[in-house]
């Protein structure tokens, strides 16, 4: 056997000969392939956001991204607590500055962050720059 190519053209007559189980299995392989491709694309985007991201493995990229998000949340929380400064977008959510916590900050952020997938948000930010 040579290398298998998932996207190799298949004659329609050959597809008709496949059983239902084989068709489902083939379809799942294709879905899995495109999910992996999308995941790799997202990891590449995250690598660009991280210092030294090009040297990290995928799992490390995810861990470092989580660490960066937590660090930014804590910075924002400290700034709101110490300076009394509240970003307009957050004040519109009803977030109370006097009773702010990491939990309430995250709840407010969930209200203002777009619901789309991550790469859509990143692409929109780049478009506005």
Q: What is the pLDDT of residues 80-112, one digit of tens each?
A: 888 888 888 888 888 888 878 899 999 998 888
pLDDT value of position 87: 85
pLDDT value of position 44: 94
**C-alpha span between 50 and 99 (Å, rounded):** 32
pLDDT value of position 85: 82
Question: In which residue ranges of the chain is pLDDT below 50?
Answer: 1, 121, 129
pLDDT value of position 121: 47
CB half-sphere exposure, 20, CA atoms < 13 A: 0
What are the tokens at 125? 């930010």
pLDDT value of position 62: 94
């Amino acid at each position: 056997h040579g290398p298998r190519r998932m996207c190799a053209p298949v004659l329609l007559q050959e597809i008709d000969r496949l059983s239902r189980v084989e068709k489902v299995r083939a379809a799942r392989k294709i879905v899995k392939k495109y999910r992996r491709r999308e995941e790799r694309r997202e990891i590449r985007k995250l690598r660009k956001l991280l210092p030294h991201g090009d040297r990290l493995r995928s799992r490390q990229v995810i861990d470092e991204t989580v660490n960066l998000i937590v660090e930014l949340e804590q910075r924002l929380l400290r700034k709101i607590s110490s300076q009394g400064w509240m970003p307009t977008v957050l004040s519109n959510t009803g977030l109370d500055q006097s009773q702010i916590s990491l939990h309430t900050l995250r709840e407010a952020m969930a209200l203002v962050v777009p619901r789309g997938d991550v790469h859509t948000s990143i692409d929109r930010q780049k478009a506005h720059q």
